[in-house]
Chain A
Amino acid sequence: MVPPRPPIKERPMQRHWIHAWLLLTPAFVFLLAFTHIPALTTLWQSFRTTPRGRRPSRWAGLENYQELISDPIFWKVLGNNIWFAIGTIPTSILIALVMALWVSERLPGRGFVRMAYFTPTVLPMIAVANIWLFFYTPGFGLFDQITGFFGFGQSNVLGSPKTALVGVMVVTIWKEAGFFMIFYLAALQTIPPSLIEAARIEGAGPWTIFRRVTFPLLMPTTLFIGVNAVVNAFRMIDHIFVLTGGGPDNASSLLLYYIYETAFRFWDTSYAASLTVVLLALLALLALGQFFFLDRKVHYK
């Protein structure tokens, strides 16, 4: 015998459903308004021409994408961005890890050292870039004053196409490492001391402990930091405005900076939209790749 479904139970179910939607709505509205709708509009715009006051927008199909493929500056900034990512991500993660291991030890003035390493993260990027601009200034900048003391000539790091991108990368690493250190520091606190003590009893040296115990346990944090670092490598461009303006001859321009220039200096919004679509696709691919392939290799417990 099947008992009839009690009607009383259905109402709370419905109410749960409404509740859930009510709770989700505020966040959903904002996501829709500021993320999803703009993303779709961008995609739509990338298939049309830029409207000018005297020439309205028309359907362009893949014209913008064809222009993109034949645009040498696009390829240059994309290449720059890849070098920028390769140059900044592993270095800043490595420095962050070393700093975290160093300041999690019991050393005198630990609080001060931690604060010192974290300072770059707190400072606004534009202010930081202005300070670095002074460091790099040929002739009377800090670096030239120091090297000049040892009898070296002037350097022009930001004014030469060979070194401008490196100059920008150094500032990025300096800025990012302290931020990532905080995550490592938090993760290090969660590693049970018993594991390390056990390893010691087994006769493991500090290097083996790090390689076999600490580092594997830090992997989830490394993955998290890795995803963030990759996103930042495509997103952090504030300092470029101050340091080089993308120059000389686009030697230090990155993809997002080029998008900004195309959209808000050249006012070619449609071409900027197609560049944005490429950037979005690239970031989505990278994030998916990291989560699905690296995630398998991460040891969680």
Chain B
Amino acid sequence: MISKLKAAAAAMALAASPAMAVDLEFYFPVAVGGAAANTIEDLTAEYVAANPDVNIEAIYAGSYQDTVAKALTAARGGNAPQLSVILSVDMYTLYDEDLIHAFDDFATTDEDKAWLKSFYPAFMENSMIDGKTYGIPFQRSTPVLYYNKEALAEAGLNRAPETWDEMKEWAAKLTKKDDSGNVTQWGVRIPSSGFPYWLFQGLTTSNGATLVSEGGTKTNFDDPKVVEALEYLVSLSKDGVMAPGIIEWGATPKAFFEGQTAMMWTSTGNLTNVRKNAPFEFGVAMLPAKVSRGAPTGGGNFYLFKGGSDEETKAAFDFIKWISQPTQAAKWSIATGYVAPSPATWDSDVMKAYVADFPPALVARDQLEFATAELSTYENQRVTRIFNDALHAAITGEKSAAEALAEAQAKADDVLKDYR
């Protein structure tokens, strides 16, 4: 009896004092409200409690921009975190800096290999280079169209527009003016400040254009279909159904709540925000189609950084695998509005209960079928900036769409020629 107790005590002591505990650093960004940070910390704590031989320090690293800057700086100083959530579009940059591992190198078992294939293909487009997986989708989003049902009903409309032409027609009907001719309610609002390329990809994709050829070394900014998409965007303001000039991204939900606009394009990441704050009944729809439906994906992936010991990297790999399982992914998706990245998550009971209560959450998932990769190239930030500048020049009427895009293509070629 006593010896049994002793053995049990010894076993407990062994379990309680993990002699070989692995310490991991995990950088994460937060691009939406404060609840997201808490959810990440809760999930990490839950994992650490269940795995006493691993200790994970979850470090809030600011915005996406801040996080990639911190991770790059730390890596250059030889202190890279073992894992981090960073924009999916920064993959080529991290790869080019030789900072990240391919997940395939650690996926040894059949189960691991099946896990790498368990995500929606639309999310994997921005997560693979040459057939190898460098990013695991986590806080991923896609833009959708939100509409004010009351304003639409007032204009005699009972559903969201389904095509470009319809959206413009709807928007014209929804634009209201006061007696002195000033607009009090715009028809539609597609924000263009900061990172206009993302929502603009909703137009290029639905027009059948691909902005970047595979491999991230060639852009197709001057494709006639891209020009057509930009001309359509510019025409919305020109024809007086969308506010002129650059439209602020951050003020867009507020403008929607205030009745300044009857329809808006923004991320699914705003879903919970709109649900809480819209003082009217609202609807969510896929972005309108031209030749087909279409939208970009967006948001952040998990990356596995080089520089740690094999043991550390393996532990980081296991954690990423755990957090992307349906139970954890569902928790995360419900707390934020990000799109759960695997079909298995949507099949889980928690998620089913959530969408039964709140069907608009399904729109983003259904749109994934038509989604393409977010614009991502080598030297991504610079190429994206060139493209954004071109969009701004066209939207503000400084240049014609064709002229601005041709210039952007020439500049992007200049940057990317070294990588071909």
- Chain A interface (Cβ < 8 Å from any Cβ of B): 52-54, 133, 137-140, 148, 151-154, 156, 158-161, 244-245, 247-250, 261, 264-268
- Verify if B396 is at the interface (C-beta below 8 Å from A): yes
Cβ contact of A161, chosen from B251, B381, B398, cutoff 8 A: B398
Whose C-beta in chain A lies nearest to the C-beta of B382? A266
Task: For A153, list chain B residues within 8 Å (CB).
Answer: 181-183
Task: For B180, list chain A residues within 8 Å (CB).
Answer: 151
Cα A264 to Cα B182 with chains together (Å): 42
Cα A53 to Cα B96 with chains together (Å): 6
Can you list 10 residue pairs at the A/B interface with Cβ under 8 Å? Answer: A139-B243, A140-B255, A153-B183, A156-B245, A160-B246, A247-B389, A248-B392, A264-B69, A266-B381, A267-B72
- Verify if B121 is at the interface (C-beta below 8 Å from A): no
Least CB distance from A266 to B in Å reads 4
Q: 15 new A-B pairs (CB below 8 Å) besides A159-B246, A160-B246, A267-B381?
A: A53-B96, A53-B98, A133-B250, A137-B251, A138-B247, A156-B243, A158-B246, A159-B192, A159-B245, A159-B396, A161-B396, A247-B246, A249-B398, A261-B385, A264-B69
- Verify if B275 is at the interface (C-beta below 8 Å from A): no
A152 touching B385 in the complex, CB below 8 Å, given contacts A54-B98, A139-B258, A267-B93 = no
CB–CB B247/A159 < 8 A = yes
Task: For A266, list chain B residues within 8 Å (CB).
Answer: 379, 381-382, 385
- Verify if B213 is at the interface (C-beta below 8 Å from A): no
Please report whether the interface of chain B is mostly helix, strand, loop or mixed according to DSSP. Answer: loop
Cα A207 to Cα B97 with chains together (Å): 66
Cα A54 to Cα B244 with chains together (Å): 44
Whose C-beta in chain B lies nearest to the C-beta of A161? B396
Task: For A247, list chain B residues within 8 Å (CB).
Answer: 193-194, 246, 388-389, 392
- Verify if B254 is at the interface (C-beta below 8 Å from A): yes
Cα A229 to Cα B77 with chains together (Å): 36
CB–CB A156/B246 < 8 A = yes
Whose C-beta in chain B lies nearest to the C-beta of A160? B245
Cα A135 to Cα B245 with chains together (Å): 17
- Verify if B65 is at the interface (C-beta below 8 Å from A): yes
Name, among A137, A152, A247, A264, the residue most crowded by chain B CB atoms within 10 Å (CB to CB). Answer: A247
A245 touching B72 in the complex, CB below 8 Å, given contacts A140-B254, A153-B183, A159-B248 = no
- Chain B interface (Cβ < 8 Å from any Cβ of A): 65, 69, 72, 93, 96-99, 180-183, 192-194, 243-248, 250-251, 254-255, 258, 260, 379, 381-382, 385, 388-390, 392-393, 395-396, 398
CB–CB A53/B246 < 8 A = no
A140 touching B244 in the complex, CB below 8 Å, given contacts A266-B379, A266-B382 = no
Least CB distance from A237 to B in Å reads 15
Whose C-beta in chain B lies nearest to the C-beta of A157? B245
CB–CB B385/A154 < 8 A = no
CB–CB A245/B182 < 8 A = no
Whose C-beta in chain A lies nearest to the C-beta of B66? A264
Task: For A267, list chain B residues within 8 Å (CB).
Answer: 72, 93, 97, 381
Task: For A250, list chain B residues within 8 Å (CB).
Answer: 389
CB–CB A248/B246 < 8 A = yes
Whose C-beta in chain A lies nearest to the C-beta of B69? A264
Task: For A156, list chain B residues within 8 Å (CB).
Answer: 243-247
